Amino acid sequence: MDARVEQRFQRIEALLHAMAERENQMEARSIEGLQRADEGLRRAERRMQISEARMDRADERMDRFDKQLQATRKLVEAGMKMLLRLGSQVQELTVNVNDLARTQKAFLRRPS
């Protein structure tokens, strides 16, 4: 083979080799990028699971609080009804005591 053809062939071969090396490096970087992206997705998924668990616990606490609030509301309503009944009973007792006091005064004022 002619020396110029041989040199040209070697240059082409070197260029092809360099191109193949660059392609291998790009492929390696691409694979690394995909692996980093996958790891990022896994971390995001873990954070989402933790957040969902936290929200579930918050929902449970809210449900317990709602039940306690309803129980407290029922107690307050029952207490208000009792106070209303006691108020009317106190009024009746006051009327009875006043009547008794008038009767007693009238009895004591009566000549014996």
Q: Please state, in angstroms and rounded to a whole number, the distance separating the CA atoms of residues 75 and 66.
A: 14
Q: Compare 109 and 62 and report the one with higher pLDDT.
A: 62
Residue 112 is predicted with a pLDDT of: 64
Residue 64 has pLDDT above 80, yes or no: yes
Q: Please state, in angstroms and rounded to a whole number, the distance separating the CA atoms of residues 71 and 77.
A: 10
H/E/C letters for each residue in 43-102? HHHHHHHHHHHHHHHHHHHHHHHHHHHHHHHHHHHHHHHHHHHHHHHHHHHHHHHHHHHH
Residue 111 is predicted with a pLDDT of: 77
Residue 66 is predicted with a pLDDT of: 97
Each residue's pLDDT tens digit, 69-103: 999 999 999 999 999 999 999 999 999 999 999 99
Secondary element (H or E) of residue 2:
none
Residue 34 is predicted with a pLDDT of: 87
Averaged pLDDT score across all residues of the chain: 92
Residue 108 is predicted with a pLDDT of: 86
Highest mean pLDDT among 28-42, 78-92, 98-112: 78-92
Is the whole-model pTM more than 0.85? no
